[in-house]
Amino acid sequence: MWDFFKKNITPAPVEKRAGFFHDHDTESTITAETLAAVLSGKTVVNAETAMQIPAIAHCVNSIAATVAALPIRLYRMGEDGKPEEIKDDNRLTLLNSTTGDTLNADGMRYAWTKDLLLYGSAYSVIDKSGLYYVSLKNVAVMKYDGDIIKKHYTYNIQGRTYYPHNLLKILRSSDGFGKGSGIVSENSTLIDTAYNLLKFRKNQLLKGGNKKGFLKAESKLGNAAVNEIKSAWNKLYSNMDVDSESMVFLNSGVDFKEISSTAVEMQISELQQSIDDSIYSIFGMADGAIDEKTIKTAVMPILDIMEAAFDSDLLLESEKGSLYFAFDTREPTRGDTATRYNAYALALANNFLQLDEVRALEDLPPLGFNYIKLGLSDVLLDPKTGRIYTPNTNAMADLGSGGALTETRDQDDYIQDPETGLMAGRKGKGLTNKAKSVRMSGKERARVSSGIATDFPRLAADNTVHRYEYGNYQYKFKVIEFGSYDFISRKKIK
């Protein structure tokens, strides 16, 4: 069983060390840029801002939901280069079922993916009792700036210091100091534009779509007239009251002048579509949907990052190189029957899956059919025994004897074992049947005998009846010795 948690994972006490400085670039800290944006009235670009944009929320939630639904497997690479799945490891329970946290495994993978996409970093504390998700706003990185080659860093969580091996660290575009970079920092201008467009459309809705402008009077208006116009104008531009007046009467000599373009003139719809397409491109989702194509561009990069993090932080040093974690990416297509069955057909046609293996993937009981199709659909191989059966010629072959036929039975002599699925002969039939020699000319006997000796040089003289096709005839024969054969029958092939 897994003894990873035997490592020292107790968090270090809070300490002050020379050469360290805090890197507080997290969502809980007000940076100089954030403060300047607040004071100037500009949009503060952060995860909350980004998730209010429908296209970003759609991409993040779709990718996170897909990753959360994928089970994680653990494999051991054998000496023969073939992977062997490990199913009784405690780490699989933590990653697929019960984490020890209030979040289950699916919820934790969802949170990891969301943090990874938005911030570029996702963390969980490794403890003897399980894995515990930590929100990025509670994590600060302490980098040692004395050596940028051999990098050193620790984490500060609620005033306590944690070393890198205390945390599961899932990082994207990392600088090597325990923190990554996400779309919020890499695409702040696009997010700002999309958010301001969202606010603009909201303001247009609140104002009922009325144009901005000013009033021009030919003569000076009195205070009473100005106040009356202001009151009427406020009612016109407010949609808070459904019973408010929708028109304003202007006195003679007062004219309205527009000062801004309409939404149509600004091509808001085209601009919105362009921004959405740019956002989909950032996430690797060309059309905003999760399908077979976007799984490769949007989901697989996330899975690769997570698998590398699992191998780095959840494997013992002695296990690295022989064990590895991998997501089971078959799950996204389980709901698509046509895609799933087409994949199974391809696997069966190319012999890298057997029928019972396919049935196991569909949670169906095995049939016990252990043969593999070879080339033609009517040639069957038992991979355990190396025996080949050809139903159309009713012949058995042994791969160990260079393809030589080792026995022949009548079609009615064969039955299938319902337990093993193997072809076997009935008792008292098959090899015990005797046959008389057939009359052949000397030239024909010599030609056929030469062909048998060339094609099947390893046939043993064991009284087994074989079949051999030469020219337009099929011959049944027994081996007397190499090059000498007793021909039992000669039948013309139709």
SS (H, E, C) 306-368: HHHHHHHHHCCCCCECCEEEEECCCHHHCCCHHHHHHHHHHHHHCCCCCHHHHHHHCCCCCCC
| Same-domain pairing of 325 and 245 | no
d(CA 250, CA 236): 13
Position 180 in a domain? yes
Q: What is the mean pLDDT of residues 476-482?
A: 87
d(CA 291, CA 326): 20
**How sure is the predictor about 362, in pLDDT bands with cuts at 50, 70 and 90?**
confident
| Same-domain pairing of 254 and 126 | no
| Same-domain pairing of 91 and 37 | yes
| Same-domain pairing of 94 and 157 | yes
**How sure is the predictor about 260, in pLDDT bands with cuts at 50, 70 and 90?**
low
d(CA 466, CA 483): 14
**How sure is the predictor about 1, in pLDDT bands with cuts at 50, 70 and 90?**
very low
| Same-domain pairing of 9 and 58 | yes
Q: What is the mean pLDDT of residues 316-337?
A: 83
DSSP code string of 74-119: EEEE-TTS-EEEE---HHHHHHHS--SSSS-HHHHHHHHHHHHHHT
pLDDT: which is higher, 27 or 148: 148
d(CA 430, CA 409): 5
CB-CB neighbours of 363 under 10 Å: 6
Position 132 in a domain? yes
Q: In the prediction, which pLDDT does 111 show?
A: 96
| Same-domain pairing of 142 and 282 | yes
d(CA 408, CA 479): 13
CB 154 within 8 A of CB 142: yes
Position 376 in a domain? no
Q: Identify the domain containing residue 143 by its residue range.
A: 4-188+278-333
Residues in the chain: 494
Q: In the prediction, which pLDDT does 399 show?
A: 63
CB 397 within 8 A of CB 388: yes
| Same-domain pairing of 27 and 109 | yes
Position 357 in a domain? no
Out of 35-49, 126-140, 214-228, 234-248, least confident range: 234-248
Q: Per the structure block, which two tokens stand in for 373?
A: 């199709």
Q: Which helix (H) or strand (E) holds 256?
A: strand 254-258
Please say which residue of 232, 259, 286 terminates a domain: 259
Q: What is the mean pLDDT of residues 111-129?
A: 95
Position 161 in a domain? yes
| Same-domain pairing of 182 and 300 | yes
| Interior angle at CA 393, CA 390 and CA 395, nearest 5 | 55
Out of 192-201, 255-264, 330-339, 417-426, least confident range: 417-426
| Same-domain pairing of 70 and 144 | yes
Out of 174-178, 347-351, 359-363, 376-380, least confident range: 376-380
Domain tally for the chain?
3
| Same-domain pairing of 9 and 109 | yes
| Same-domain pairing of 225 and 153 | no
Position 126 in a domain? yes
Position 400 in a domain? no
Q: Which of 196-205, 321-330, 363-372, 424-433 has the highest mean pLDDT?
A: 321-330
DSSP code string of 192-250: HHHHHHHHHHHHHHHTTTPPPEEEEESSPPPHHHHHHHHHHHHHHH--S-TTS----PP
pLDDT: which is higher, 260 or 169: 169
Q: What is the pLDDT of residues 156-171, one digit of tens each?
A: 999 999 999 999 999 9
Q: In the prediction, which pLDDT does 4 show?
A: 53
Position 433 in a domain? no
**How sure is the predictor about 258, in pLDDT bands with cuts at 50, 70 and 90?**
low
| Same-domain pairing of 243 and 306 | no
Chain centroid to Cα 328, Å, comes to 7
DSSP code string of 393-410: TTEEEEGGGTT-EEEE--
pLDDT: which is higher, 106 or 414: 106
Q: Mean pLDDT for the chain?
A: 77
Q: Which helix (H) or strand (E) holds 47?
A: helix 47-51
Out of 91-95, 203-207, 432-436, least confident range: 432-436
The overall longest dimension of the chain from CA atoms, in Å, is 135
